[in-house]
Amino acid sequence: MTRSRRTVTPVRSWFQPTCWMRQIVLGTRSSSCMRAPCVVRGHPCFLKSKMDVGYVVTCVVESCSSEMEENICISRLTEFVREKSYPGHSRNMSTELHSISTQCKLLGIERRGREISFRFPLSLLSASGSAIIRALEEQREALCLRSIGLSLTTLQDVMEYLTKRQSSTMATAPSNEPLTDKATEHGISIQIEGMGSNQASCFGTAVGCEMNRDDSSMSLLNETCNSHDESEYYNPHRQSLVRHFAVLFMKRVHCAKRDLRLVVFQILLPVVFLSLALLTDLMSPPKQPALTLDASLYPGYDTQPYSEVMWTVSSKFPDVFDVESSSMSTAFGPYYTPIRAKCDVENCSQPLSAELIPDIRTHTATRYIALALTSAQGKKGTPTSILMHNVSARHSAPQSLNALYNVVNHQLFGQGSMTTARNVPMHVGPFEQKMVSAFRRVIFGIFILLPFTFIPSNTVSFMVRERQSGSRHLQWLAGANVVAFWLSSMLFDFCCYLVTEALAMIIFVIFKRTEFIGDPKTVVASLTLFTVFGISSVPFSYVVSFFFSSPFVAQGVVLIANFVLGFLWVMGEQILGGIKELETFVTRTTHVLRVIPSVSFGEGIFTLSGVELANMMFPERKRPNLFDKLEFVEGKFRGGIGTALIYMSCTLVASLLLLALLEYARIQRVKWFFTRMSCCRRKNKKSSNQDADAPPSASCICHQREANMNIDASVAREEEEVCRNETGRIEDCITLQHITKKYGGTHRPALDDLSLGVHKGEIMALLGLNGAGKTTAVGILAGEVVPTSGSAYINHLSVLRSASRSYVGYCPQKDALIDHLSPGEHLRLYAGLRGATDKYIRKEIPKLLDALGLTSQKNTPAYSLSVGNKRRLSLAVALVGGTTSVLLDEPTAGMDATARRQTCAVVRRLTRAKSVILTTHLLDETEALADRVAFISKGKLRCVGTPQELRTHYTNDSVYTVRVVFADGCGAIDATCDVMKRLRELFRTSSSTEGEECVLEGVVGRTVTLLVQQSLSQICSVASNIREGGLEGLPPVVQVSASQATLEDILLSI
């Protein structure tokens, strides 16, 4: 990005809003905005000078044989710097140091192990500041200094200062006075990390010093975290089955309070479906009214044109109906229009049809009937009447017969004598009503299965969601008892099921479902069937959940499977079983499918629903016991619910055994076994392919030598110390010994022979590019990843053993939170799993929430928290409960700059007695937190040491970046101008030794960046001369700065 900016800056203007402080250095000017207005703007160096922040001088003392000697060296060094920084502080001071300006004074001290940092203003690059640096270099051996480094404080310090300033002046009137920090004007702030009060007392107090005081909650929390009597807060005996059962059960209770899905699937949908099914049963079929079989059957019968009646008589037979001498207009009945057709043959059906067919699609009036009053039928020609009717009208046949009788009555008794034909349904008797009701109950009784198919799907979904989010693994890592975890889940899910079962029974009573509650025997059978289904379906759902990775997919698949098998198959097997060709297939398939609780439950429901109907249809049959086995006889299933109960009981036992296998034998251990076996097979195969008698090739020897030469001395020393004992160094709480991890399908291992140890009270930062292996290393320590070879230990206990779990606090890269738990409930859960006492939970959890800024949202469910607050909650979960080893995988991801700095400060305070491994891509976060840094590249450990040791190692302790910012009137500056030549001459003095050089790194606007290799005192001397403006050939200078290479520069170089 820097190279791109240098390329386009001459022709473009850049405006870049950002929260990343390292991007600000690319700009010529910077502006800081707080709550909309612009607070301050200018060059980064100018901003630092106005905010009383500037340089950090970092010194690393030599390794000592004991911690006491190390503390003495640190104390001597601190006292020496304070004496040189405060004129008049000591009587034995040289004349040169008495002339030190009051503007170049010590602002703060911070210690991290053997590394101690001294904070100075930007005026350190002056004559007085150079005297301090020169004094340190002269006394380097006497003070046991291994290296001395100089670095600029970051713009993050400016942002932090502005944030504090803004919050402290919110209630005051705005002022145009320059921003100054009164606390740093009068003294220094001393922070001694990793030391107790008795060790810190050796530093004394400088004249005019003021110690920074933490707030009360943080101080009390520190006292708790560093307490020597931990039995008051942590009791290992509380990590019992009963304790964990209670904690985990309350977790499910708290989740249920906010889980709308649970309410819908466990209560709402079952009640709705049961009510709809039973309400449908109460609906009586509509009563059919009596029908008058004439033209009034059809709409519009009484309006013109009336329905046409085509009729005829055969001229070959006598006129028995006397149609020739009478009017036939009203003979067929009212609302008919008679139309006579001619018939000169005996059989009039053909002439009658011939009259109807031509206009079959064009006639306007309706036609429902046609009559041949006299006609012949059959071969014998028997005289008869022929009736024709429209098949699209269901009652047209009796209607035509009624019209024939109307003609007969009309001719016999005169006009107006009509026959009224009515179709009246027969009344259903009491027995028939019971039969119909029983049959309907059998049909609708099977629909009771529908609401119970939702319950297992919700159970599976919850377990998959917990595993997908990582919270299940985090609970396991916190030491959750496996038996307690599953028993608490089973009890809670079964209690929820009992609520659904109770609601179902209440609905049965309300709607008088006698097939389920008709007599005591039926009630017992129904309760037994429903209860056994609940007991067996819960662990069966747990086993099924292991085969899904998405909760939505799991819920959908289980719901559809239960519906198809438990509902459709149970109904279909009664029909398919009656087909002789499919009888064998149905019986064998049913025996297999009964292992699914919903299938057995469906058969039991169907059996109970059909008992009442069978008793009514066969009143003389022997009444079967409801608990008899179900048998397939003559294409039908007969018997009781005994078979369903047996299958569901066997499913319960088998599910419990599978759960025990998956947890205690653990799939991860099986993976570990097969991984080791495959690794051995690969080695054996590789060795077998090589000739045992042949000497190693020259290329192999050269490759091995090159690999050995590329191993850094710090890596070799770390490996030797870590692997000297079986479980690592005594003072290490985290140990990795020869860890190798290779994933399938890849040629390069993710980790290659990594050995590393972390002391108690130390923060180790793992740095590397994407894919370097940082997350894999943390995953191995957290139990998420199984190493191909090597060993990992927590508190000298193997990570493959359950005893090491409760010591580990893990903040994964992805928030492993339970969506429906609040921050307070999260911390109570994990504190309880790690054996914290009730006193700790009552007193210290609120303080931890306050320290991380979560007090105002302690009752807010996790799914409603912002991204930054979720990360803080994940960090709190890693710290709560007395963990001794903390694994932080990008803990500040998603936070803004101020929130990151605050979080880093909290982590630093709360992990003083813990071993911490930190992985991050933010180098300023590493410099703020890490005691030691390990660089990993392509799975290999490249170097390890304190940040200053790495800078010294890779920059030879004498390579610094010098930036000079000239005033506006200096004119154009390029690489060949006189100003550049003069700058190079200044840093190439006659006192320079061989190998020292000054290289132009870049020119951006009025800012010149040089890479200078000289002693720190020489650089400070030249920079002070440039800053004071007393040199010829240089235009006026606005700011001069010098700093060593950053960790980012070192990482990129590696």
φ, ψ at 61 (rounded to 5°): -85, 160
Q: What integer pLDDT is reported at residue 817 of this predicted model?
A: 93
The region of weakest confidence among 27-36, 103-112, 116-125, 656-665 is 27-36
Reported as type and span, the H/E element at residue 209 is none
Q: What integer pLDDT is reported at residue 186 of this predicted model?
A: 33
Residue positions counted in the chain? 1054
What is residue 949's three-state secondary structure?
helix
CA dihedral 435, 441, 444, 450 (to 10 degrees): -160
Give the DSSP letter of residue 629. Answer: P
**Distance, CA of 555 to CA of 910 (rounded, Å):** 41
pLDDT tens, 253-287? 999 999 888 888 888 888 887 777 767 666 666 67
The region of weakest confidence among 274-278, 703-707, 757-761 is 703-707
Q: Is the dihedral of CA 461, 465, 471, 476 positive or negative?
A: positive
Q: What integer pLDDT is reported at residue 1022 of this predicted model?
A: 82
The region of weakest confidence among 486-500, 787-801, 973-987 is 973-987
Residue 660 pLDDT greater than 60, yes or no: yes
List own/partner pairs for 325-328 with CB under 8 A and 24 or more apart. 326/410, 326/411, 328/407
Q: What integer pLDDT is reported at residue 163 of this predicted model?
A: 60
Residue 379 pLDDT greater than 50, yes or no: yes
pLDDT, average across residues 775-788: 88
Mean pLDDT of the chain: 77
Q: What amino acid is encoded at 501 in this protein?
A: E
Alpha-carbon distances of 261 from 174, 248, 255, 689, rounded to whole Å: 52, 20, 11, 59
Assess contact for 118 and 50: CB atoms under 8 A.
Answer: no
pLDDT, average across residues 531-543: 94
The region of weakest confidence among 10-19, 115-124, 719-728 is 10-19
Nearest 5°: the CA angle 444, 449, 454 is: 140
Nearest 5°: the CA angle 878, 879, 881 is: 100
Assess contact for 1020 and 133: CB atoms under 8 A.
Answer: yes
Identify the band that residue 877 occupies on the pLDDT scale cut at 50, 70 and 90.
very high
Closest residue by Cα to residue 199 from 79, 64, 82, 67: 67
Q: Of 89 and 145, which is predicted with more confidence?
A: 145
Reported as type and span, the H/E element at residue 427 is none
Residue 202 pLDDT greater than 60, yes or no: no
Query: 10, exposed or middle or buried, with CB in 10 Å at 0-12, 13-18, 19+?
Result: exposed
Peptide bond into 305 cis (omega under 30): yes
Identify the structural domains of the chain with CATH numbers, from first to last: 44-87+101-164 (3.30.70.60), 266-280+453-664 (no CATH), 291-423 (3.40.190), 725-945 (3.40.50.300), 956-1053 (3.30.70)
| Strands (DSSP E) found in 670-750 | 732-741
Q: Is the dihedral of CA 213, 216, 217, 220 positive or negative?
A: positive
Reported as type and span, the H/E element at residue 862 is none
The owner of tokens 């402290």 is 168
Give the DSSP letter of residue 104. Answer: S
pLDDT tens, 892-934? 887 877 788 888 888 888 888 889 999 988 887 887 788 889 9
Q: What integer pLDDT is reported at residue 331 of this predicted model?
A: 86
Residue 1008 pLDDT greater than 60, yes or no: yes
Q: What integer pLDDT is reported at residue 862 of this predicted model?
A: 92
Q: What integer pLDDT is reported at residue 210 of this predicted model?
A: 35
Token duo for residue 108: 């703060």
% the chain with pLDDT above 90: 17
365 Cα distance to chain centroid: 73
Alpha-carbon distances of 13 from 29, 43, 47, 300, 478, rounded to whole Å: 12, 16, 21, 87, 53
Q: What integer pLDDT is reported at residue 432 of this predicted model?
A: 67
Q: What integer pLDDT is reported at residue 412 of this predicted model?
A: 83
Q: What integer pLDDT is reported at residue 442 of this predicted model?
A: 60
Q: What amino acid is encoded at 498 in this protein?
A: L
The region of weakest confidence among 222-226, 641-645, 670-674, 970-974 is 222-226
For residue 1008, list its beta bridge partners. Answer: 964, 1003
Q: What integer pLDDT is reported at residue 950 of this predicted model?
A: 80
Identify the band that residue 86 occupies on the pLDDT scale cut at 50, 70 and 90.
low
Query: 55, exposed or middle or buried, with CB in 10 Å at 0-12, 13-18, 19+?
Result: buried
Q: Of 883 and 535, which is predicted with more confidence?
A: 535
Residue 809 pLDDT greater than 50, yes or no: yes
Closest residue by Cα to residue 487 from 249, 240, 805: 249
